């Protein structure tokens, strides 16, 4: 018998929480609803969930603090819910390790699509990579695909699962222009939607962690990862 995917739903609005819980159950998930940040953080660190849906505005402890503390210890996929237009919260959330976000109000079908995309990515990440080299080195950067680790020289780089996926796509397609739509599909497991800046934010964070000069923005087309001249 297949185990249902366990989802921690952290939303302080009781009506919204009940609606989302009902939707998740109908879609075959096993949701657990929590209404404040303190208890949400305790549960997230104590138990193993397949995915966490985390609102930013929460009583007790805000969602960004909860996100930061979870990310310090766990790599559970986290989908952030943000108020419409709160770009700063989204940027900070991605910098702290959020995997994706949805601005409120949102279409429930879009939420389910985002959840399924994140869960598909997790399943793919657990599968042994086929056709990939064991590792790729570019200048001081070394990426090991089997262990999903990255190093600058001898220093280990702390990457989120999504950031590692983005970096992997770049390294497996060096010196090629990759459209934002293609990068979103390959790294996030879903199609790029209108006004969706998730992939831009992941690339921005990746640039800060590896090298500002390696990832080029190709205006109107997408991105390109440039191999060092020694390659």
User: What does the pLDDT profile of the chain (231 residues) look like in tens digits?
Assistant: 568 899 999 999 999 999 999 999 999 999 999 999 999 999 999 999 999 999 999 999 999 999 999 999 998 999 999 886 677 788 888 888 899 999 888 999 999 999 999 998 887 776 656 667 888 888 889 999 888 899 999 999 999 889 999 999 999 999 999 999 999 999 998 998 888 889 999 999 999 998 767 899 999 999 999 887 654
Specify the DSSP class assigned to residue 170: H
3-state secondary structure of 190: coil
pLDDT at 202: 94
Question: How many other CB atoms are there within 10 angstroms of residue 85's CB atom?
Answer: 10
Distance CA 38, CA 10 (A): 10
Nearest to 143 by CA among 210, 88, 90: 210
Q: Hey, which residues does 83 pair with through a beta bridge?
A: 104
Distance CA 125, CA 134 (A): 14
Interacting residues of 107 by C-beta distance below 8 A, sequence separation 6+:
none
Distance CA 177, CA 1 (A): 44
pLDDT at 231: 46
Nearest to 141 by CA among 75, 202, 231: 231
- Helices 198-209 and 180-188: crossing angle in degrees, nearest 10, is 80
Torsion of CA 140, 146, 148, 153, to 10 degrees: -20
Distance CA 34, CA 216 (A): 42
Question: How many other CB atoms are there within 10 angstroms of residue 194's CB atom?
Answer: 4
pLDDT at 127: 66
Nearest to 7 by CA among 42, 36, 35, 34: 34
Q: Which domains does the chain have, with CATH numbers?
A: 6-126 (3.40.50.2300), 135-225 (1.10.10.10)
Helix (H) or strand (E) holding 231: none
Residues 218/224, Cβ–Cβ less than 8 Å: yes
Does 105 sit behind a cis peptide bond, omega within 30 degrees of 0 on the bond before it?
yes
Q: What secondary structure does DSSP assign to 73-108, as a single string?
A: T----EEEEEETT-HHHHHHHHHHT--EEEEES--H
């Amino acid at each position: 018998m297949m185990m249902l995917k366990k989802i921690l739903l952290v939303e302080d609005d009781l009506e919204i929480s009940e609606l989302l819980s009902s939707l998740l159950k109908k879609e075959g998930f096993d949701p657990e609803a929590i209404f404040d940040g303190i208890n949400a953080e305790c549960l997230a660190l104590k138990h193993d969930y397949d995915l966490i849906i985390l609102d930013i505005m929460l009583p007790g402890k805000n969602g960004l603090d909860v996100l930061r503390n979870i990310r310090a210890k766990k790599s559970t996929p986290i989908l952030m819910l943000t108020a419409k237009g709160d770009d700063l919260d989204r940027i900070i959330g991605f910098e702290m390790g959020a995997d994706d976000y949805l601005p409120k109000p949102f279409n429930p079908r879009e939420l389910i699509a985002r959840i399924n995309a994140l869960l598909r990515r997790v399943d793919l990440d657990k599968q042994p990579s086929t056709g990939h080299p064991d590792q790729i080195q570019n200048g001081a950067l070394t990426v090991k695909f089997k262990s999903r680790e990255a190093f600058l020289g001898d220093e280990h780089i702390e990457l989120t699962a999504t950031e590692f996926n983005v970096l992997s796509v770049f390294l497996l397609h060096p010196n090629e222009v990759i459209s934002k739509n293609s990068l979103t599909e390959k790294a996030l497991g879903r199609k790029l939607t209108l006004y969706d800046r998730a992939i831009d934010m992941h690339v921005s964070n990746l640039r800060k962690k590896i090298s500002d000069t390696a990832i080029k923005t190709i205006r109107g087309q997408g991105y390109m990862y440039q191999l060092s001249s020694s390659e």
